[in-house]
Chain A
Amino acid sequence: MGPNGAGKSTLIKILDGVYRPDQGRILIDGRVADQAERARKIGVVHQNLGLVDSMTVWENLCLALPPQYAVRPLLSFRRERELVRHALGQVGLDESLIRKRVGALSLGEKTMVAVARLLARGAELIIVDEVTSALPPNEATWLVDTLRHQARSGSTIVMVSHRLSEIVGAADRQVVIVDGRVVADTRTSLLDIKELTDLMTPEGNEGASAVDSSRPLRVGETVLEMRDAYSQTAGPFNFTVSAGEVVGLTGPIGFGLYSIAYLASGFERARRGAVEMSDRGVGFLPPDRETEGNFDEDPVLWNMTVASLNRFSGPFGLLKAAEERSKATEMHTRLAVVPQDLYAKQRTLSGGNQQKVLFGRALLQGSRLLVLCEPTRGIDVVTRQQIYRLIRDLKSEGHAILIISTDAEDLLSVADRVGIMQGSALPRLVTIDELDLASII
């Protein structure tokens, strides 16, 4: 583990063969391993998993295997099926999934299919790169348990995660990377959450221990109200968000949790009921950074201002370049995005910094209502605290903030009132003090 931008992903890409090492050697079992050997023995599960959604589990697994011929060039379905069954069995997935399309699986199941594929290929070292960050808690636990089971039966598992509790609970050995250097490598005595956090927190940044004093609040007028509102997939929703408060919603995904966000920000129309907003604009942070947020090939500047171009355009829609850049620079500085270059391509940024840019996009719209989905997905402990502080600041500036997140820590850290979806409905919100902690996890 390590903060965003510490070099974890770069390290993995070197092992993976995406980048060539500038210097040094890579040893496997004490011998220098060339590219081909590494490709065979090291398997990486990236966050986007690399599965083909439109193909079945069977087909996806067989893509990674050498062809199983009956009589060349005809493939043997029987042998393929056996291999696939075996691989699924290893990760504890049910055999009945074999003919299902990958697109129809839950994210946790997909992740396990990706792991099974590596095992079927004969990978001895399996690296899972932040795959749990997008998973709901129960699936994440299941994944970690299965990986532990794998490790006991002889594989080596390297898990990259920002969820400290996972690392502390599951790892036999912890390695902490900060600024491209290994700052801790514990073979014997494991570190606890506090020690890990301290290691990753730069000096003078007491983010994690800062006590939230802004909780008692003066709530202003109602900015967003939903009355018996139904989205395409879920409902009814009944709640309000007022200026100067943070409302947090959580629940299992798959029942339309995020559809509340699309309703609240006007990207989806209510099937029934009423969604009322007192202002016109909504600052929106989408749940999935990669597919719904980033413009990978475009510079940070464009990524930041894309939702607020109306503020910077004059006659004929001509953009006021200087104004656009100065506003973006201001936001860039406020959010402390690294690198400082406004013209760096979005994809070259680390996940945490990409997230900050998307925050900047939502804030630059200048709306009172902010709808923030998964604000800390794939974010390290330090950035996480920065984001919590930012949200509290925004609250005290009078924003009405709706957070929709599957990460309980988000809600516990910043929310004033919390709602937990039950099935596809949303019961009454409760204040954070009334909350039964067990129910959220």
Chain B
Amino acid sequence: MSSFATVGAFFIILVVVYGTWLGGHFLASSPRAFDVYQNVPPLIIGAGIVICLACGRFDLSVGAMASLSVFMTIGLRTKEGLPFISVLFIVLAIGVVVGLVNALLVQRFRINAFLATLATGGILDGVYTVYGGGTDVAPVPGSPNQLPSWFTGIHSFGSFQVKVPLVVAWVVLALLLASAFHVARDRFVDTPREKRNLGLVLAVMAAFAVFLALARFPQQMSWGIFALLVLYWIVWVALRFTRFGRGLYAIGGNEVAARLSGIKVNLSITVAYVSSGLLAALAGIILAANQGSASPQIADGYLLPAYAAAFLSTVIISTGRFHIWGTLVGGICVVYISQGLVLGGVTFTWTDVINGAVLIIAVGVSTTLRRAVSR
């Protein structure tokens, strides 16, 4: 309950403050949905990062992995002329292999995870630079090897203009709300007082659903956002409701105790790195669909916002654990805060400065608050 309350409160405060200040400029649902759409790749990378951080491991190769994935998605089709479906499988397989290599370096050869994944990231950057000859890779007009029109372009899954059918959008949102309710009920079953809380949870969720409907959010759900929500839901289930996820958190909490509890530490961490590589590859594919071409370092800069979102999750949700929904809300809030300031008159060139400052302030303030409360 407390976690949902804090996530909700965080979000509502943001919307109310900016809504009051900027009014319709900020509250218009289409540009806000567009903000989310633009940040789907870093947020998906963030989900992979959370899986690794849950077991206490860093993966710094994900930004470069996503860039490589963009190059491969575009290049293997337009330069090599491979069938597009097989291209997608190859790119995902690259993500899996990179994850396996990271796990091998970290668990087998005991190289510090920070250093090892930073180095593999560097190598991946090098690989696509060599492949692309140091410049962009884009479809050549007139060549028979074009990207499929369902993949990228104005009328494709990659476009913001193409929306998910309304029914599907509501099904996804209903799934998320039902999940939230399931968790709340799971936690509160024993006493009558807590049953009343449960009623409150239901009321808040109903209000949220009405808010979404009024804001016409379901109408703004493009396929990228759809993929984002579904992936987050899957990662959430894996982390929270499976043996694997419980094991990861145990490893992150106390690795020795986890081993002595019979958890397969090496296997779990390997799966974590593979998931993170796979999600980074997926993020790259989605970015390729959005952009339609690949340029060097296209996704490298996502490393900071993705880590920012993941670390924000530990302070947004009071458990102090890396948490998937906290990552989503944290990531979106950072985007909205800087977008709001831009709308309010700050030049957009300041965005990176704002993002860095917002991260430090948010983490700093909530850590201090929590310490003050626990005293």
- Interfacial residues, chain A to chain B (CB-CB below 8 A): 19-20, 267, 284, 286, 291-298, 302, 306-307, 309-310, 313, 316-319, 321, 343, 361
Question: Is B79's beta carbon under 8 Å from chain A?
Answer: no
Smallest distance from the beta carbon of B251 to chain A beta carbons, Å?
10
CA distance A310 to B242 in the complex (A): 10
Nearest Cβ on chain B to A340's Cβ, whole angstroms: 10
Q: In the complex, A306→B257 CA distance in Å?
A: 10
Residues of B within 8 A of A302 (CB): 246, 249-250
Residues of A contacting B253 in the complex (Cβ-Cβ under 8 angstroms):
295-298
B321 touches A306 (CB 8 A): no
- Known contacts A298-B250, A309-B243; decide if A321 and B186 are in contact (CB<8 Å): yes
CB–CB A295/B257 < 8 A: yes
Q: Which residues of B contact A297 (CB under 8 A)?
A: 253, 319-321
Give the shortest distance, in Å, between A2 (CB) and chain B (any CB). Answer: 25
Interface residues of B toward A: which range? Answer: 20 to 34
Q: Tell me the minimal C-beta distance from A147 to chain B in angstroms.
A: 31
- A and B contact pairs by CB, cutoff 8 A, 15 listed: A267-B259, A284-B260, A292-B256, A293-B257, A295-B250, A295-B253, A296-B253, A297-B321, A302-B246, A302-B250, A306-B247, A306-B261, A306-B263, A307-B261, A361-B261
Please state if B249 and A294 are interface contacts (CB–CB under 8 Å). no
Q: Which one of A284, A296, A319 contacts B241 once the chains associate, using CB atoms below 8 Å?
A: A319
Q: Are B321 and A318 in contact (CB under 8 A)?
A: no
Q: What 1/0 flags go to B253-273 for Cβ under 8 Å of A?
A: 110111111110000000000
- B216 interface residue (CB < 8 Å to A): no
Q: B108 within 8 Å of A by Cβ?
A: no
Whole-angstrom distance between the alpha carbons of A294 and B261 in the complex?
10
For the complex formed, measure the closest distance between the CB of A42 and the CB atoms of chain B, giving whole angstroms. Answer: 19
Q: What distance in Å separates the Cβ of A367 from its nearest Cβ neighbour in chain B? A: 11
Beyond the given A295-B254, A319-B246, please list 4 additional residue pairs across the A-B interface where CB-CB is below 8 A: A284-B260, A298-B253, A306-B258, A361-B261
Q: Determine the chain A residues whose CB is within 8 A of the CB of B242 once the complex forms.
A: 313, 316-319
Q: Which residues of B contact A293 (CB under 8 A)?
A: 257, 260
Indicate if B375 sits at the interface (CB-CB under 8 A): yes
Q: Looking at the complex, which one of A294, A313, A319, A343 makes contact with B254 (CB distance below 8 Å)?
A: A294
Nearest chain A CB to B172 CB, angstrom units: 20
The 10 A-B residue pairs with the shortest CB-CB distance in the complex, in nearest-first order:
A307-B261, A295-B253, A317-B243, A317-B242, A309-B243, A313-B243, A306-B261, A286-B260, A292-B256, A295-B254
Q: Please give me the residue from chain B that is nearest to A282 by CB atom.
A: B262
Report how far A286 CA is from B261 CA in the complex, Å.
9
Which of chain A's residues have a CB closer than 8 A to the CB of B370?
none
Chain B hits for A321, CB < 8 A: 186, 241
- Residues of A contacting B375 with CB < 8 Å? 19-20
Residue B151 interfacial (CB < 8 Å) = no
Q: Chain B, 282-324, contact with A by CB distance < 8 Å: what is the 0/1 string? A: 0000000000000000000000000000000000000111000
Q: Counting CB contacts under 8 A, is B187 at the interface?
A: yes
Bound CA span A381–B247, Å: 34
- The docked-state distance in angstroms from the alpha carbon of A306 to that of B246 is 8
Q: What is the CB-to-nearest-CB distance from B110 to chain A, in angstroms, rounded to a whole number?
A: 17
B244 within 8 A of A: yes
> Roughly how many angstroms separate A20 CA and B186 CA in the complex, as a whole number?
35
Q: Bound complex: CA of A307 vs CA of B263, how far in Å?
A: 7
**DSSP majority for the B interface?**
helix
Shortest distance from the beta carbon of A269 to any chain B beta carbon, whole Å: 14
List of B residues within 8 angstroms of A309 by Cβ: 243, 246-247
Distance in Å from the Cβ of A87 to the closest Cβ of chain B? 32
**Cα distance A140–B263 when bound, in Å?**
35
- Closest chain-B Cβ to A266's Cβ sits at a distance in Å of 9
A319 to B182, CA, bound (A): 14
Residues of B within 8 A of A294 (CB): 254, 257
The digit string for B207-247, where 1 denotes a CB below 8 A from any CB of A, is 00000000000000000000000000000010001111011
In the complex, the chain B residue whose C-beta lies closest to that of A312 is B243
Q: Please, how many angstroms separate the alpha-carbon atoms of A343 and B188 in the complex?
A: 11
Tell which of A19, A292, A313, A316 touches B257, judged by Cβ atoms closer than 8 Å: A292
In the complex, which residue of chain B has the Cβ closest to the Cβ of A310?
B243
**Distance from B218 Cβ to chain A, minimum over Cβ atoms (Å):** 28
Residues of A within 8 A of B237 (CB): 318
Expressed in whole angstroms, the minimum distance between the Cβ of A103 and any Cβ of chain B is: 16
Give the complex CA separation of A313 and B238 in angstroms: 12
Measured CA separation A149–B65 after assembly (Å)? 64
Nearest CB of A to B191, in Å:
11
Q: Which residues of A contact B261 (CB under 8 A)?
A: 306-307, 361
On whether the beta carbons of A291 and B260 are closer than 8 Å, the reply is: no
Closest-CB distance, A359 to chain B (whole angstroms): 13
CA distance A309 to B254 in the complex (A): 17
What separation, in Å, do the CA atoms of A426 and B13 have in the docked complex?
A: 67
User: Could you tell me the distance between the alpha carbons of A108 and B3 in the complex, rounded to whole angstroms?
Assistant: 44
Q: What residue in chain B is nearest A295 (Cβ atoms)?
A: B253
* Contacting residues, chain A, for B260 (C-beta < 8 A): 267, 284, 286, 292-293
Bound together, the chains give a CA A109 to CA B243 distance in angstroms of: 42
Instruction: Please give, as numbers and ranges, the residues of chain A lying within 8 Å of B243 by CB-CB distance.
Output: 309-310, 313, 317, 319
CB closest chain-A residue, reference B261? A307
Closest partner residue, chain B, to A343 (CB atom): B187
Q: How far is the CB of A351 from chain B (nearest CB, A)?
A: 16
How many angstroms from the CA of A297 to the CA of B259 in the assembled complex? 17
Closest chain-A Cβ to B271's Cβ sits at a distance in Å of 11
| CA of A389 to CA of B262, assembled, Å | 27
Write the nearest CB–CB distance from B362 to chain A, whole angstroms: 21
Please name the residue on chain B nearest to A316 by beta carbon: B242
User: In the docked arrangement, what's the CA distance between A318 and B245, Å?
Assistant: 9
Assembled-state Cα–Cα distance A236/B263 (Å): 29
Nearest-neighbor residue (CB-CB) of B247 within chain A: A309
Fill in one digit per residue for B181-211: 1 if any A CB lies within 8 Å of its CB, else 0. 0000011000000000000000000000000
CA distance A267 to B237 in the complex (A): 30
Point out which of A267, A295, A296 has the most chain B C-beta atoms below 10 A from its C-beta. Answer: A295
Contacts of A292 in B (CB 8 A): 254, 256-257, 260
In the assembly, what is the distance between CA of A163 and CA of B319, in Å?
36
Neighbouring A residues of B262 by C-beta, 8 Å? 307
Contacting residues, chain B, for A284 (C-beta < 8 A)? 260
Assembled-state Cα–Cα distance A298/B263 (Å): 16
Complex contacts, A296 vs chain B, CB 8 Å: 253-254
Q: What are the residues of chain A within 8 A of B241 when measuring CB–CB?
A: 318-319, 321
Query: What is the minimal beta-carbon distance from B61 to any residue of chain A, in angstroms?
Result: 26
A186 to B50, CA, bound (A): 56
Which residue of B has the minimal Cβ distance to A267? B260
For A306, list chain B residues within 8 Å (CB): 246-247, 250, 258, 261, 263
A19 to chain B: which residues have CB within 8 Å?
375
Q: Is the CB of B250 within 8 A of A317?
A: no
Query: For A313, A317, A361, which residue has the most chain B Cβ atoms within 10 angstroms?
Result: A317
A267 to B187, CA, bound (A): 34
Q: Indicate with 1 or 0, residue by residue over B102-134, a CB within 8 angstroms of chain A CB atoms.
A: 000000000000000000000000000000000
Is B257 in contact with A286, judged by CB distance below 8 angstroms?
yes
Q: How far is the CB of A268 from chain B (nearest CB, A)?
A: 11
Using A297-B321, A306-B250, A307-B262 as known contacts, say yes or no to A317 and B244 having CB atoms under 8 A apart: yes
Nearest residue in A to B254 (C-beta to C-beta)? A295
User: What are the residues of chain A within 8 A of B254 when measuring CB–CB?
Assistant: 291-292, 294-296
Q: Which chain B residues lie closer than 8 Å to A286 at the CB level?
A: 257, 260
> Nearest CB to that of A299 among chain B residues?
B319
- In whole angstroms, how far apart are the Cα atoms of A172 and B335 in the complex? 65
